[in-house]
Amino acid sequence: MINFDEEIEKFQPSLEIEQAEDVINSNDLTDVADILKEILKGKKEK
């Protein structure tokens, strides 16, 4: 049988996933809410 405690001790997260997480979290991504805010802001100024 598989000893889950032993397997968890051996577990090491993939470096690729950690690197991807850092890149995603460090990027300032524009989402739909940001776009809508800009559209509404433009309409208020007119």
CB atoms within 10 A of CB 7: 9
Average of per-residue pLDDT across 7-20: 87
pLDDT digits (tens, 9 = 90+) for 23-45: 888 887 788 888 899 999 988 87
Q: What is the pTM of this model?
A: 0.38
Angle among Cα 25, 29, 31 to the nearest 5 degrees reads 125
pLDDT computed for residue 24 by the predictor: 81
pLDDT computed for residue 4 by the predictor: 93
Q: How many CA atoms lie within 13 A of 19 on its CB side?
A: 3
